[in-house]
């Protein structure tokens, strides 16, 4: 078992800078064009990233001042807010996105080590998550949805450290049947099956992997190979498995993240 430290501010700052460059480069008409997510325009993706940044910034601030607060008021309010913000003028949406990015960075910079203890709720009365995973959660949102914009940044542009974190974090999800993935560009093999029920809900802060071939326990399921970017894109339910190969007839079933 290898510990993965909580990403430092430079990790999310790097992802934010790349995303800001892409959003800044969008023309007004491009906001209304389809994104890589079915039913969502680029404006929807930017609106979601904005509200996610605001919500997680509020979570961190609440933890810092000793007044815990959830990310969103309710699932319905979250969805409605995305629709409302996506309908805003591009200049207004862009300005609020930039403000949310800065707000998250400021909240992160204000955190003291004791502030990271404890948990928070996504919505009141809903599942709770470990505060220590907030930065990993935000990095995952920023990197994946950056690619979802379909504006020149793709999964192939994800940094290698993020690709490893993504492949590991997806082991937290349940799958209909077990399988392994072996990236051609990382000397590791990940196993996917029933997600561990630790009540955490966010990306793992410890990483377990096998070097080289996965152990032969007889129930590992098929092996899927490809680049770590292609594997991560597929594991989040995107694309059709382009660039991947498997030793069975079909790719295992995965759900959209």
Residue at token pair 């993240």: 257
Q: Name the nearest CA neighbour of 153 among 35, 8, 29, 33.
A: 35
Whole-number pLDDT of residue 1: 31
Nearest to 143 by CA among 18, 4, 10, 9: 18
Distance CA 47, CA 88 (A): 9
Summarised one tens digit per residue, pLDDT across range 197-223 is 444 444 433 334 443 344 444 466 999
DSSP assigned state of 10: H
pLDDT digits (tens, 9 = 90+) for 33-73: 999 999 999 999 999 999 999 999 999 999 999 999 999 99
Alpha-carbon span 203 to 59, nearest angstrom? 17
**Residue spans of beta strands (DSSP E) within 199-250:** 206-207, 223-226, 245-246
Neighbour count for residue 2 (Cβ, 10 Å):
8
In this model, does residue 97 exceed pLDDT 80? yes
Run of H or E including 190: strand 190-192
* pLDDT number for residue 172: 86
E strand segments, 113-168: 119-121, 128-130
Q: Give the least confident one: 7-11, 20-24, 103-107, 114-118.
A: 7-11
pLDDT higher than threshold 70 for residue 74: yes
> What is the per-residue pLDDT for 194?
64
Q: Quote the pLDDT of residue 198.
A: 43
Confidence of residue 141 (pLDDT cuts 50, 70, 90): very high
Q: Running DSSP on this structure, what letter comes out for residue 6?
A: P
Q: Can you list the pairs that 24-31 forms with residues at least 24 positions away whose Cβ atoms lie under 8 Å? A: 24/94, 25/151, 26/90, 26/94, 26/149, 26/151, 28/90, 28/91, 30/151, 31/90, 31/93
Mean per-residue pLDDT for 6-26?
88
- Which pLDDT band holds residue 175 (cuts at 50, 70, 90)? very high
The arithmetic mean of pLDDT across residues 110-132, rounded, is 95
Q: What percent of the chain has pLDDT over 90?
A: 78
Taken in order of first residue, the domains within the chain and their CATH numbers are: 2-153 (1.20.120.450), 161-246 (no CATH)
> 67-104: string of b/e by CB count within 10 Å (b at 16+)?
eebbbbeeeeebeebbeebbebebeebbebbbebbebb
21-25 average pLDDT score: 97
Structure tokens, 220: 């590992």
Q: What is the mean pLDDT of residues 129-155?
A: 96
Round to whole Å and give the CA distance between 94 and 96: 6
Name the percent of the chain lying above pLDDT 70.
86
| Average of per-residue pLDDT across 235-243 | 94
Measure the CA–CA gap between 66 and 158, rounded to whole angstroms.
35
Q: Of 91, 43, 48, which Cα lies nearest the Cα of 72?
A: 48
């Amino acid at each position: 078992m290898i510990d993965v430290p909580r990403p430092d501010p430079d990790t999310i700052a790097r992802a934010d800078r790349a995303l800001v460059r892409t959003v800044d480069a969008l023309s007004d008409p491009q906001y209304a064009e389809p994104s890589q997510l079915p039913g969502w325009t680029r404006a929807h993706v930017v609106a979601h990233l904005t509200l996610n940044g605001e919500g997680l910034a509020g979570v961190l601030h609440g933890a810092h001042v000793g007044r815990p607060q959830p990310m969103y008021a309710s699932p319905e309010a979250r969805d409605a807010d995305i629709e409302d913000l996506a309908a805003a003028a591009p200049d207004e949406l862009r300005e609020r996105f930039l403000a949310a990015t800065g707000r998250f960075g400021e909240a992160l910079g204000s955190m003291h080590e004791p502030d990271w203890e404890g948990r928070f709720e996504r919505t009141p009365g809903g599942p709770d998550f470990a505060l220590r995973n907030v930065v990993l959660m935000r990095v995952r949102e920023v990197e994946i949805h950056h690619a979802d914009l379909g504006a020149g940044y793709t999964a192939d542009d994800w940094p290698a450290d993020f690709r490893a974190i993504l492949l590991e974090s997806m082991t937290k999800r349940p799958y209909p049947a077990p399988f392994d993935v072996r990236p051609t560009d990382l000397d590791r093999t990940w196993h996917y099956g029933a997600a561990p029920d630790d009540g955490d809900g966010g990306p793992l802060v410890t990483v377990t992997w096998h070097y080289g071939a996965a152990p032969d326990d007889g129930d590992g399921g098929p092996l899927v190979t490809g680049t770590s970017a292609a594997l991560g894109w597929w594991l989040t339910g995107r694309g059709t498995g382009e660039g991947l190969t498997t030793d069975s007839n079909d790719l295992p079933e995965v759900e959209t993240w």
